[in-house]
Amino acid sequence: MKRRTESRGTPGLSAENAWCLYDWGNSAFVTTVVAAVLPVYFAETVCGSRTESWSLLGLRVSSNATSLWGYAMALAALLVALMAPVMGAAADAGGRRKQFLGVMTGLGVVASGMLALTGPGDIWPVLGLLVAGQIGFAGANVFYNSLLISVVSPERRELVSARGYAFGYLGGGLLLALNLLMIRKPGLLGIPDTGSAVRLVFLSVSIWWALFSIPLFLKVPEGVSGGARTVSAAVRRGFLTTLSTFRHIRARRNIFRFLLAFLLYNDGVQTVIMMAAVYGKAELGLGSGHLIGALLLTQLVGVPGSLAYGWLAARFGSRRMIFVGIAGYVVIVACAVRMSTALDFWILAGVVALFMGGIQAVSRGYYSRMIPEGMNAEYFGFFSVSQRFASIFGPLMFAAVNDITGSSRISILSLLVLFISGGLVLRTVRDPGDPATEPIGGP
């Protein structure tokens, strides 16, 4: 079958840039909805001082805004982790990547826009839309990432992939800055009040995401089909592939230990990112200006921080720098427990930005050197599933500890378990170049 190299439409825009523009668009959902505005809106306007009582395994649970947010994020991550490998295999096998991408993007866009219709007391509708948006965002990324293969040749994929990340930082940060202006100075833009501005922010994310997705659908080729004629056949193949890869990894103890360590410490990293805003609002009483501004700071510091972290890893070794990152997060968590002012929050946000991108990028590079030759796609597919599961347990633990103790500070302190246990497991992992490491061609 002959592969197309370019699709029609949008003259003058290359397939590479069209692919990168999708990251420019969908990053607004993470920066504005998940990390900055919605957590504050949920804690301040939707929940306020309310608690919600509900049943869990026969027990009656009473949860505040912080706990409910953590449970919702954990549920979304679990659903995505379970769905991602099957959806990816179905799209690969049937040549339906852009079709599946369109469905998931549509889900995220609609969920973001519908948040503009919510208000005080709409606890469960807001949480439902949050979960739907997260599924749309993460599910779409499965197919978005796979389209990179049909966009560029192998020797250029790292370059274009990095450009996509850069587009995401810039696009997400630009809209977030505009959103901050809308919320802080609504009258300047002809908006009647802050409440209206917040709802328009959600609508802006929906429009931004949809608008910058269009070039991808017009310019990026579908790629080669895997040959499966039906979705059901592709789904069966997805389950079988996942099970086969898991057995492969279990037989290679060094890789399995690293993935376990990564799941633990990356769970802590993801929880800090996802819970920071709602923690700052609920525990410190910070306003949206401080919370969104601090997030903008992390976007700004994160780019040079990640580059510097990669340079240090090349100089001193990836495994050593992962330990440095874990130690850094242990210090961050310890300091977070003692935070009491907006300045504390800003300083800690800047420190987090120095580590958050670097430790994940170095971990991915370190893992790539462990993969048996010729099995890159399978192993990185499983690595992606591990990343999704790493967004489940931390938020769930954070929420449960908060419900049991009634203290968000104890919840943040509980994350030390994830970082310390991840570091202990990583101590058992040998470098890929170590002669004692099992041969990569067999168990």
Write down all domains in the chain, each with its CATH number in brackets: 13-220+227-240 (1.20.1250.20), 252-443 (1.20.1250.20)
Stated as kind and residue range, the H or E segment containing 305 is helix 288-316
Which tokens in the block code for residue 123?
Answer: 């606890």
pTM: 0.71
Dmax (CA) for the chain in angstroms is 68
Residue 145: its pLDDT value, please?
74
- Cβ-Cβ contacts under 8 Å for 270 (sequence gap 6 or more): 390, 391, 394, 395
Share in percent of the chain as helix, strand, coil (round to 5): 80, 0, 20
CB 35 within 8 A of CB 277: yes
User: What does 44-69 look like in DSSP terms, one character per residue?
Assistant: IIIITT--EEEEETTEEEEE-HHHHH
pLDDT in tens, 121-133: 898 999 999 999 9
Tokens 């998931």 correspond to: 104
- pLDDT-derived band at 91, boundaries 50, 70, 90: low
Tokens 């805004």 identify what position? 65
- Asked if the model's pLDDT at residue 5 lies above 50, the reply is no
pLDDT in tens, 377-425: 556 666 766 766 767 778 888 888 888 888 788 888 899 999 999 999 9
Report the 10 Å Cβ neighbour count for 79.
Answer: 18
Split at pLDDT 50, 70, 90, the class of 104 is very high
For residue range 272-318, what is the model confidence (pLDDT) as tens digits?
A: 877 787 778 777 888 777 887 888 888 778 777 777 777 788 788 88
DSSP 8-state class, residue 369: T
Which positions ≥6 away from 7 have C-beta within 8 Å? Answer: 15, 218, 219, 220, 221
Distance of alpha carbon 380 from the chain centroid = 16
Question: For 130-142, what is the mean pLDDT?
Answer: 88
pLDDT, mean of residues 59-77: 73
Predicted confidence (pLDDT) per residue in 351-385, tens digit? 988 888 778 777 877 877 787 765 555 566 667 66
Question: 318-337 and 288-316 helices cross at what angle (nearest 10)?
Answer: 150
For residue 29, what pLDDT band results from cuts at 50, 70 and 90? very high
Would you state the pLDDT for residue 419? 95
Phi-psi label, residue 239: left if phi above 0, alpha if psi -120 to 50, beta otherwise: alpha
Strands 52-56 and 59-63: antiparallel
CA torsion sign for 104, 68, 394, 243 is: negative
pLDDT at position 316 is 87
Residue 225 backbone phi and psi in degrees, to 5? -80, 150
The two structure tokens encoding residue 410: 């104890």
pLDDT digits (tens, 9 = 90+) for 248-268: 777 788 888 998 898 899 888
**Does the structure show a pLDDT above 50 at 9?**
no
Sequence-ordered list of residues with C-beta below 8 angstroms from that of 110, at least 6 positions apart, any chain: 132, 136, 206
Q: Average pLDDT in the 199-213 region?
A: 96
Task: Decide which of 159 and 236 is more confident.
Answer: 236
What whole-number distance in Å separates Cα of residue 199 and Cα of residue 82? 31
pLDDT of residue 207: 97
Tell me the average pLDDT of the chain: 80
**Cα 80 from Cα 297, distance rounded (Å):** 29
Which carries the bigger pLDDT value, residue 262 or residue 205? 205
* Percent of the chain predicted with pLDDT > 90: 23
